Structure 1
Amino acid sequence: MLTAERMSMWRGRYQMKADGRPVAVWDPSWWRTGGDFEVDGRRFSVRANGWGTKYRMLDESGEEVARVERAGRKHWTVVAEGRTYEFRRGSIWGKQQDLVAGGLKVGSLRRTGAWSGDVEADLPGMSLPVQICVVGVQIAVWQSQQTAAAAG
């Protein structure tokens, strides 16, 4: 189980914990949608395209590790580690995203607090860096949706 706990209301940084053990800090980008993190001494960057629907996770050498497509949509995918992971929004309110395989729910990520923005994820089969990428992208999508709703 991976959890993301907001560290401050002002900055948007999240402490990532795997089974209760701190493993990384998701540090959102100031200028572009996405963020950066480090796991076991390896640095990763996650950046969105101009519309915020596609994200790429790159390692420190600039190699693509994962790609998220159709982020924020009802159905979206993550391509990483030679596999394609499929997600679907669990409800119309968008507080939960389900990881599906063969039409069956096999995992999920969900917002655990409406005000805190904390997230809990059960994403079996994914490496820890890819799990952090998926949670970070979902945090960015939710924040973007909140900003748009507040402006509208």
Structure 2
Amino acid sequence: MLHAKRIPLPSQEYELSEDGQALTTFSLRRGRIGARFTLHGADYHVRTHRFSGVYELLDGGGTVVASTDRVRRSWNMTCSERVVPFRRTAVADREYTMLGDDGEPAGTIRRTGHVRSEVTADLPGLELVLQVFVLVVVLLRRRRKRAAAAVRSTSLAGGWPSSTGHPRKPVADLTRSSHARRAASREPRQPRLRDDRDRREDRP
């Protein structure tokens, strides 16, 4: 059984262990697409296709070892012409179930721990490197969904940042300012006070 735990909490570094024994580490830092890890002396790269939601596992030479289709409620991992289906079995992507050739549950991946930042994978029948790949994919999907939620929250709260780095005014504030300017332009002008010259011109 694999267990991934973030250490320490403020960072995006994860320690991966197998049955309690340290196995490897990987990072999900912001600005980095995908993740890299070393397993038994071999380097691997999990590549993310940002817009399609597809993930690939590449070896040190850049060869695709395994890949997924679009990761959502139901998705598949393909490796050496073998297709392994996964199905979400808990809300908020907290659990995925691996299905066997007979369509019955054969393994699970669960997000646990503080703010669901830990993942436990029990995937018998899969090579170790493929188990690590699936576990990293689940964590990358969680990061992607959290980033999308943050973007939506920002746009609802006050819009996108301007080019100066300061947040733009919400559309409602801009509309109110425009209405105020128009209302001010319609205010009646105060009559001009007559000065001594005007009074002299009125004399016969």
Q: TM-score, normalised by structure 1?
A: 0.91
State how far apart, in whole Å, the 2-side matches of 1:65 and 1:25 are: 20
User: What amino acid does structure 2 have at the position aligned with 1:78?
Assistant: M
Instruction: Indicate the residue corresponding to 1:100 in structure 2.
Output: 99
CA deviation vs aligned residue, 1:7-58 (integer Å, no higher than 9, x gap)? 1233311111111111111222654431000011000001111315111111
Question: Is contact 2:65–2:79 with CA below 8 Å preserved after alignment?
Answer: yes
Unaligned runs of 5+ in 2: 153-204
How many residue pairs were aligned? 151
State how far apart, in whole Å, the 2-side matches of 1:52 and 1:6 are: 27
Q: Percent identity over the alignment?
A: 30
Unaligned runs of 5+ in 1: none
Instruction: Indicate the residue corresponding to 1:77 in structure 2.
Output: 76
RMSD value over aligned CA atoms? 1.6
Higher Cα Rg, which structure: 2
Q: TM-score, normalised by structure 2?
A: 0.69
State how far apart, in whole Å, the 2-side matches of 1:28 and 1:57 are: 15
Instruction: Please tell me whether residue 53 in structure 1 is matched to residue 57 in structure 2.
Output: no
Instruction: Indicate the residue corresponding to 1:44 in structure 2.
Output: 44
For residue 143 of structure 1, report the CA deviation from its aligned partner. 1.3
State how far apart, in whole Å, the 2-side matches of 1:52 and 1:30 are: 19
Runs of 4+ in 1 over 4 A off after TM superposition: none
Higher RCO, 1 vs 2 (CA within 8 Å, ≥6 residues apart): 1
State how far apart, in whole Å, the 1-side matches of 2:23 and 2:30 are: 22
Change (3 A) 1:18 1:130: same
Higher strand share: 1
Residues 1-152 of structure 1: matches in 2 within 5 Å?
1-28=1-28, 30-51=30-51, 53-71=53-71, 73-101=72-100, 102-115=102-115, 117-152=117-152
Higher helix share: 2
User: What amino acid does structure 2 have at the position aligned with 1:5?
Assistant: K
SS in 1 for 2:93: coil
SS in 1 for 2:16: strand
For residue 114 of structure 1, report the CA deviation from its aligned partner. 4.5
